[in-house]
Structure 1
Amino acid sequence: MFNQTKPNSYPTFFIIINIIVNFNDNHFLFSSHRTQQPSSFLFPVLLCAAMGRGLGVVLVLLAVYCGLDPFQHSPIAHFPDFEVKRVDMPAWSEVPTDQDKHNLLQKSEIKFANQVQGPESIAFDPLGRGPYTGLADGTIVFWNGHSWLHFAYTSPNRSEICNPIASATPFSYVKNEHICGRPLGLRFDKKTGDLYIADAYFGLLKVGPEGGLATSLVTEAEGIPLRFTNDVDVDTEGNVYFTESSALYPRRNFLQLVFSGDDSGRVLKYNLATKETTVLVRNIQFPNGISLSKDGSFFVFCEGVVGRLRKYWLKGEKAGTSEILAILPGYPDNVRVNEDGDFWVALHSRRYMYAYYNGIYPKMRKIILKLPIPIKIHYLLQIGGRQHAAVIRYSPEGKLLQILEDSEGKVVKAVSEVEEKDGKLWMGSVLMPFVAVYNLK
């Protein structure tokens, strides 16, 4: 997130200018040679030498500034143990090139503008009511057809610092979200009406149809605390599947997680009857969305940094194994199954060569990250210069069936999730203050 203070470049600029001016004054304007009149030939030579020396000083100072980062503008300046790993990128030739040349997502309707801050996940209850969504202030709200109502919250430590802020943005709450909670993935149990919640800081939780304070179910696995719980799904047999994006980085440092290539992510299962938690897949680079198949024989989950959709078999001869289902044209957030059994994948952004080479060359990536460049600039370089939107529908076999885009980000940006209901796509975004709705018919 951009929760870091925007750096002020003016002090550095004036320091460099003052040094250059003083250097030139001392060596040329006030030297003993000033009393002598240079010849018409010598004057341009001296001028060029002065300019060359001044440029050399600028380059030296710039190199020193970049190397020392005295104002700690680097996105990893406050992470002394920051390490980078090679991202398991597919070959560039394997990346799909499919596009929506008509930018159909620009026909989407923007709903609830500035009424909801950072609605990552969209859910409808077993009676079809909603949507429900989790917000940046740590609450889960419900649309009753006329207005948003408070439904639930995840943190038992809520206080006045968690109250909604006037003229807020999704980033206004980042500094307190470890206290107030940050609900991300939401899923209803269609039998009981219970809502399962993946909260980035408070782990896996559940709240009944009446709402209120959610009950904590899982906060650690194998003795390791959940650091960044992300998404969740529940089957008909009393099992809850969820992802932990990292065991090292919390959500408020998700960009450092992306830049590091950290592979401490896990996919887990919680059994409601035995209350046991099992790690199904480990050592994943930013596992994100998760969704069971229509028949419950497998689930798919997104590898956020790698840009893949992976299938994990729950039944049959391959039970307990996983395989690549699809290489994606970008970096995914959540994934949701529709009534036909297809999977809608929300891409945070498409792939670009800058991010690709940064992924496969970790040493180069770390050198770049050490430069005193604001984290927002690194983020924009990673996503190709501007926020945009893409959602893709895949078959259960991994075939790309449909792609919808707003490549210019004119209407829809940074989609986190796509929920298909009654011929419409409901799109949430963890970074935006609205919900977008696209009519498929």
Structure 2
Amino acid sequence: MALFFSPLTSALLFLTLSLALYCSIDPFHHCAISDFPNFIAHEVVSPRPDQVPWERDSQNSLQGSKILFQDQVQGPESVAFDPLGRGPYTGVADGRVLFWNGENWTNFAYTSSNRTEICDPKPSALSYLRNEHICGRPLGLRFDKRTGDLYIADAYMGLLKVGPEGGLATPLVTEAEGVPLGFTNDLDIDDDGTVYFTDSSISYQRRNFLQLVFSGDNTGRVLKYDPIAKKAAVLVSDVQFPNGVSISKDGSFFVFCEGDIGSLRRYWLKGEKAGTSDVFAMLPGHPDNVRTNKDGEFWVALHCRRNYYSYIMARNPKLRMFILRLPITARIHYMFQIGMKPHGLVVKYSPEGKLVKVLEDSEGKVVRSVSEVEEKDGKLWLGSVLMNFVAVYDL
């Protein structure tokens, strides 16, 4: 028996089949994963947004931040001060570490010796993505208070160190247990010189960070560098986008950010639980760096708050694969991921893991994105891998 469809049904069927064929072939390479033939979407087990209650900052306090160094720095993710209190120092998108001497920015250090014209100034931090693996991309910065040496987590060059006078940084480690570092992200230094750091993925480099976010890749690692043995060892493996890391004030543990899940995880260094980890806090958003203040509290920078779109995509990898194959750019997918608009958000936790402070710019008017929060002398210094300035908020 022949089947007959109405003109409308026939048109809808034709459009559906055409869309399915287009997405399977992607002839114009418009989809977000067209250049990643081995892309796999992993499930991310994260709580629903309503399961992580938190008190909103109705005053949008971060809108009162001062904008410093507009267009003088591109993508200043990490902000650090040396043992003498000088600075700030920050790593920027063209591969340099800059130092503010009180009057202007000066070149302090480099992570790559390949300083050619491809590393010259560009209009935005994202403009450097294509050549980051050549010019270097310094992310986490920490000073060793004993020696004045600056330790650098470079996304491509691994873990490096440079002396108090600056210059070309010396690589310390580029692999751990036979596996190369793929996306070195952040670090902290213990009192004995041991360095704890994160490798966000061994599958995706930082220049493909959007695909890393979309995939839920679980090849991230948390590592320890022994300065005496001059080797790195893996402490925690199979982590979905590990990012910031910071040691507690008493040195009994450190916390690290699980970016995809949206949590702070605690790794015990001392006591009966030494060598084990547990959840320190579930965050109201997806984190970047974390920093410990003088009181032992933890400031966490969040790229965006939780939303139901990212939750549904996280829990349904097959649906996510289908959506990612549509002719939609990676940037648009990312906008959906963050709730369609920039949202500056930082939170503070007590040494016991209790949420004690929330600061927002929910409209993204002044502070559109935050990668790190460094507290110094009653001020919060806010860096961002995406912004072209440093924001300062008076506590």
Q: TM-score range by the shorter chain?
A: over 0.9
Q: Which residue of 2 aligns with 1:94?
A: 51
Structure 1 residue 55: Cα displacement: 6.2
Match of 2:188 among 219, 233, 239: 233
Maintained 8 Å contact 1:265/1:283: yes
Q: Which residue of 2 aligns with 1:135?
A: 92
Q: Which residue of 1 aligns with 2:296?
A: 341
**Aligned alpha-carbon RMSD (Å):** 1.4
Which sections of structure 1, spanning at least 5 residues, go unmatched? 1-48
Q: Which residue of 1 aligns with 2:22?
A: 65
Structure-2-length-normalised TM-score: 0.96
Give 3-state SS (helix, strand or coil) of 1:177's partner: helix
Q: Which residue of 2 aligns with 1:291?
A: 246
The answer as to 2:67 corresponding to 1:117 is: no
The answer as to 2:37 corresponding to 1:85 is: no
Match of 2:379 among 417, 424, 436: 424
Structure-1-length-normalised TM-score: 0.86
What is the aligned length? 390
Q: Describe the superposition over 1:316-346 as per-residue Cα deviations: whole angstroms up to 9, x where unpaired.
A: 1111111100000000000000000000000
Q: Describe the superposition over 1:149-184 as per-residue Cα deviations: whole angstroms up to 9, x where unpaired.
A: 00000012222221223xx21011111110000000
Give 3-state SS (helix, strand or coil) of 2:289's partner: strand
Q: Describe the superposition over 1:369-413 as per-residue Cα deviations: whole angstroms up to 9, x where unpaired.
A: 111111111000000001111000001111000000000000001
Q: Which residue of 2 aligns with 1:325?
A: 280
Q: In structure 1, what is the Cα distance between the partners aligned to 2:114 and 2:23? A: 41
Give 3-state SS (helix, strand or coil) of 2:261's partner: coil
Q: Structure 1: which amino acid aligns with 2:365?
A: K
Structure 1 residue 58: Cα displacement: 4.6
Maintained 8 Å contact 1:204/1:219: yes
The answer as to 2:91 corresponding to 1:144 is: no
Q: In structure 2, what is the Cα distance between the partners aligned to 1:264 and 1:86? A: 13
Q: Structure 1: which amino acid aligns with 2:296?
A: G
Structure 1 residue 70: Cα displacement: 1.5
Structure number with greater Rg is: 1
Q: In structure 2, what is the Cα distance between the partners aligned to 1:197 and 1:282? A: 21
Match of 2:149 among 191, 194, 200: 194
Which sections of structure 2, spanning at least 5 residues, go unmatched? 1-5
Structure 1 residue 90: Cα displacement: 2.7
Q: In structure 2, what is the Cα distance between the partners aligned to 1:319 and 1:60? A: 56
Q: Which residue of 1 aligns with 2:338?
A: 383
Q: In structure 2, what is the Cα distance between the partners aligned to 1:97 and 1:392? A: 10
Give 3-state SS (helix, strand or coil) of 2:310's partner: helix
Q: Structure 2: which amino acid aligns with 1:357?
A: I
Specify which structure has the higher proportion of helix.
Answer: 1
Give 3-state SS (helix, strand or coil) of 2:63's partner: helix
Change (3 A) 1:62 1:139: same
Maintained 8 Å contact 2:288/2:300: yes
Structure 1 residue 57: Cα displacement: 4.8
Match of 2:369 among 414, 419, 422: 414
Q: Which residue of 2 aligns with 1:76?
A: 33
Q: Structure 1: which amino acid aligns with 2:22?
A: Y
Change (3 A) 1:367 1:129: same
Q: Percent identity?
A: 66
Give 3-state SS (helix, strand or coil) of 2:160's partner: strand
Give 3-state SS (helix, strand or coil) of 1:172's partner: helix
